[in-house]
Chains A and B, each alone.
Chain A
Amino acid sequence: MKKHWKYWAAIIFLPAVAAASLTGCGKPAEKSGEQPLKVGFVYISPVGDAGWTYAHDRGRAEMEKLPFIETARAVESVAETADATRVMTQLAAQGCNLIFSTSYGYMEQTLAAAKRFPEVVFMHCSGHKTAPNMSTYFGKMYQARYLTGMVAGKMTGSNLIGYVAAHPIPEVIRGINAFTLGVRKVNPEAKVRVVWTYTWFDPPKERQAAVSLIEVGADVIAQHQDTPGPQQAAEEAGKYSIGYNVDMAPFAPRAHLTGAVWDWGVVYTAVAEAVHEGTWTNQPIWWGIETGLVGLAPFGPMVPDEVRQLVKAEETKIAAGQLKIFSGPIRGQDGEVVIPKGKSLSDEELFSMSYFVEGVEGEIPR
C-alpha cells in the first residue's frame, strides 16, 4: 500500500498544475460613464458554440462594448419553471438595472419579477405580455426563413425538404409556413415535412430527427433548433442543409446552403442606449430584415449565381416594405384559402399563428 502514494499524488497534483497554468485573466470591469448600467441575461441553454443562446451571447458581448456598461452577466441553462423567477430576482438583487430573458417560456416569470422590481427594466424575448417596466423584443425571422426557403426550393432534387422543429408554438409554426411559402414560390411541386423534437436544445435528438427525414427521402434539411445537430446529419449523408441562428457553415461546409441568422447586438445595443439615456419605453420591439436583426448567412459555394440573385432581389423588396410574406391568397394544408387575396396578416395574427399552409406535411397537436 505505501508504494502507491505516487499514484495518489499524481492524481491530486496533476490537475492542479494544469489548472494553475491556465489561470490568468479576470480583469476588473472598470469603464467610465456617468450612470453605469448593470445588465443581466437569462439563457435557456449553455452558450455553446452555435445556436440560439450563442447568438444572444454574441449580442451581449457586442453590447458590453458600450462605454456605460459596467457588467453584462448571463446565467445559462435556466429552466422555464419557477427557477427563472429566482434567477431574475437574484440578478435584480445584485444591482442589475436592465434584465433580458431570452426564451418565450420565461413570460410569466419575467412578469412576476417585473412586478417585484418596478425600478428595473425587463425585456422578454418572443413573448406578448408587457408591464410599465417590462416589454418584449423579437425579430421578423419569418422574412429570412422565406428567403432560405427559396434557396431550398431551388436546390432540392427529390422535392422533399425536411424541417426539424422544436416546439409547436406560433413562432416555430410561422417560420415553417414562411419557409414553405418561399420553397413553393420557386418550386410549387416541393413539400416540406416537419418533425417535432419537443426540445430546443438536444444535439443527439435533433440529429436523429434529421436522419429520419433523410431516410424518407428529404435532400435538404432545415431546422428550428438551437444546435448544429441537423446540419451535421445532412453533411454526413451528403445532403444539403439550411442553418439557423448563426452561420452554421463551419459545422457542415459541404451541406450548408445558407441560413436564417440573428444579430441580437442590434437590439441589445439600442435598448441599453435607450435605458441609459432615459428614453426607454415599453413599446415592443418587432424588427425586420431592414434593421439587420434578422438576415441571411453567406451562401455556400454550391448555390448558383442565378439563385443568389433571385434571393437578393426578393430580400431587397422585403427590406423596402414592398413584399409582405403572409399576404393572400394563401391556402391552408387542406387546400382551403386561409388568407384571402388582398389581405395580409396583422402582427396579432402572426403572433398567434396555429395552422400550416399548403405544402407542409406534418401535424400541429390539438
Chain B
Amino acid sequence: MRPLTFITFEKRLEPGRGARLAVTLASLFLALVLSGLVILAVGVNPVEAYTALFSGAFGTLYGLSETLVKTTPLILTGLAVALCLKMRLWNIGAEGQFVIGFLASVLIALALPGRPWYLLLPLMAAAALVGGGLWAGAAGLLKARLGVSEIITTLLMNWVAILFSQYFAYGPLKGLDGFPYSPAFCPGACLPSIGWGRVNAGLFLALAAAVVLHLVLKHTLWGFEVRVIGDSPKAARAAGMKIEKKIVLVLALAGGLAGLGGFVEVSGIEQRLSPHTAIGYGYTAILIAWLARSHPLLVILVAFLFGGLYTGGEMIQVGMGVPVAVIRILQGAILFFLLAGDFLMNFRVRFGKKVSSER
C-alpha cells in the first residue's frame, strides 16, 4: 500500500507538436498577464510596457543588434549545457567554463600584444576551447572514474574559476591606476564587427557551432552513441559502448563550447579583463538548454529570445522608469510558466486521494 497523498502526478502520453506549441504560447500569455498586473501596480500601462519591451529588443535596428550581441555567448553556453543533457549529464558549470575561456583569451591577447589577427584570434579561440575543455573535462573524469556527481563538481568549480579570474584582475593584470581592469586589447585581438552596431564575427562562430553540433549529433555514429547512452545507459553498455570515455569527452567538448563563449564575449565585446566576467550566461544557459529540449538549433532560437528578454527588460526601465524588481518578476514569471506548462504537458495532476494506481 502506498501512502495517501493529496496531489498526485500521472505521466501523460507524449504530446504532439501542435499541443506543445499551444501550451508554450498559453504559458507565455499567462506569464504576461500575471506580470502585467504587477506592472499595473507600479502605475505603468502593461500594454505600453510590453510594446516597449518588444520594440526595444527586436523593433529597432539598434535594439536588435544589441539583442544579437547578448544572444552570441548565450548560444555557446546553451550548447554546452544542451550537449550534456543529450547524455543525461547536468552541466551546471557553463558559467565557470565561460570564465576560463574568457581568461585564457585575455592571457593570450595580453602576452602577444600587437600581433596580427590571423595569429591572435585562432590562438585565443584555441586557448579558450582547451581551457574550458580541461575545466569541464576534469569534472567528467571524476564522474567516469569515481562516480562523483557532475552536478556538484561542475557547480563548485564555477567559484574556483571566478576567483581564479578575479585574482588576475586584482593582481598581476591590474591597471596602473590601481583599478582591477587589464589594459585594453590591441586591434588584432578583437573579433571584427560586421558593421552593424556591436554585432561581431562571434555570432557566426556561435551559429556555426550550433549547426555543426546538430549535424554531429544527428548524422554521426558518435552522435548516435551519445543519444543512446542518454536514453538508455544499460542498452548502450550491452551494445559495447564505452560510456566512461564518452562522459569525459562530452563534458570536455561542452566545456570547450562554453569556453568559446568566453572567447567571443571578451574578443568581440569586452576587450579587457575585469572582475565582472561572470554575469550569469552559464546559468541562463541551463534554462535555455532545457526549454530548447537540448536541440542545438532550438538553442539558437531560445537564446535569441532570452537575449531579447534581457535587452527589452532594460528598455522598460530606461523608457518608463519601472523598477528592476518588476523586470525580474516578469523574467521570472515567464520562466516559471514555461517550466510549469512543460511539466503539466507531461504529467496530469490529480487532487485528492490516490486511487488510480489501484485500478
Contact = CB atoms under 8 A, between A and B. Distances in A.
Verify that A and B bind, or say they do not: yes
Interface of A: 4, 7, 12, 15-16, 18-20, 22-26, 40, 46-47, 71, 73-77, 79-83, 86-87, 89-91, 93-94, 104-105, 107-108, 128, 167-170, 173, 198, 351-354, 365-366
Contacts of B179: 104, 107, 169-170
Contacts of B323: 46-47, 76
Interface of B: 30, 33-34, 37-38, 40-41, 43-44, 56, 62, 66, 69, 166-167, 170-172, 177-181, 184, 198, 269-270, 272, 274-276, 279, 311, 314-315, 317-319, 321, 323-325, 351
Given A75-B318, A94-B318, A19 B62 contact: no
24 contacts: A4-B351, A7-B351, A12-B33, A15-B37, A22-B41, A25-B43, A46-B323, A74-B317, A76-B323, A79-B276, A80-B276, A83-B279, A86-B69, A87-B314, A94-B318, A104-B179, A105-B274, A167-B170, A168-B170, A169-B178, A170-B177, A170-B178, A365-B167, A365-B171
**Interchain residue pairs A-B with the least CB separation, the first 5:** A26-B43, A19-B37, A76-B324, A365-B170, A22-B41
Which has the most chain A C-beta neighbours within 10 Å: B56, B69, B184, B317? B317
A75 B167 CA distance: 30
B41 A75 contact: no
A231 to B, nearest CB: 23
Given A23-B41, A94-B319, 19 more contacts: A12-B33, A16-B37, A19-B38, A20-B40, A25-B43, A46-B325, A75-B317, A75-B324, A76-B317, A79-B279, A81-B276, A83-B314, A86-B69, A87-B318, A90-B315, A91-B318, A93-B62, A352-B178, A365-B167
Nearest to A27: B43
A73 B172 CA distance: 38
A108 B66 CA distance: 18
Contacts of A7: 351
A170 B30 CA distance: 49
B66 A198 contact: no
Contacts of B275: 167, 198
User: By DSSP majority rule, is chain B's interface helix, strand, loop, or mixed?
Assistant: helix
Contact of B269 (A18, A82, A351): A82
Contacts of A22: 41
Contact of B321 (A73, A89, A167, A173): A73
User: By DSSP majority rule, is chain A's interface helix, strand, loop, or mixed?
Assistant: mixed
A81 B279 contact: yes
A352 B177 CA distance: 6
A86 B311 contact: yes
B148 to A, nearest CB: 27
A163 B236 CA distance: 57
A86 B44 contact: no
Nearest to A45: B324
Contacts of B274: 80-81, 105
A94 B316 CA distance: 12
Nearest to B45: A26
Nearest to B44: A26
Contacts of A89: 62
A19 B41 contact: yes
B327 to A, nearest CB: 9
A26 B97 CA distance: 45
A86 B272 CA distance: 17
Nearest to A76: B324
B276 A86 contact: no
B324 A46 contact: yes
Given A19-B37, A23-B43, A352-B177, A73 B269 contact: no
A15 B36 CA distance: 11
Given A167-B180, A168-B170, A366-B171, A77 B324 contact: yes
Given A47-B323, A73-B321, A167-B275, A353 B314 contact: no
Given A23-B43, A169-B178, A105 B318 contact: no
A107 B37 CA distance: 37
A352 B43 CA distance: 45
A15 B34 contact: yes
B160 to A, nearest CB: 14
A353 B177 CA distance: 9
B198 to A, nearest CB: 7
Contacts of B351: 4, 7
A226 B4 CA distance: 49
Contacts of A82: 69, 198, 269-270
Contact of A23 (B40, B167, B269): B40
A4 B180 CA distance: 57
A71 B319 CA distance: 11
B314 A24 contact: no
Nearest to B34: A15
Nearest to A17: B37
A323 B166 CA distance: 37
A244 to B, nearest CB: 20
Contacts of A23: 40-41, 43
Given A90-B318, A365-B167, A353 B178 contact: yes
A274 to B, nearest CB: 24
Contacts of A91: 318
B39 to A, nearest CB: 9
Contacts of A4: 351
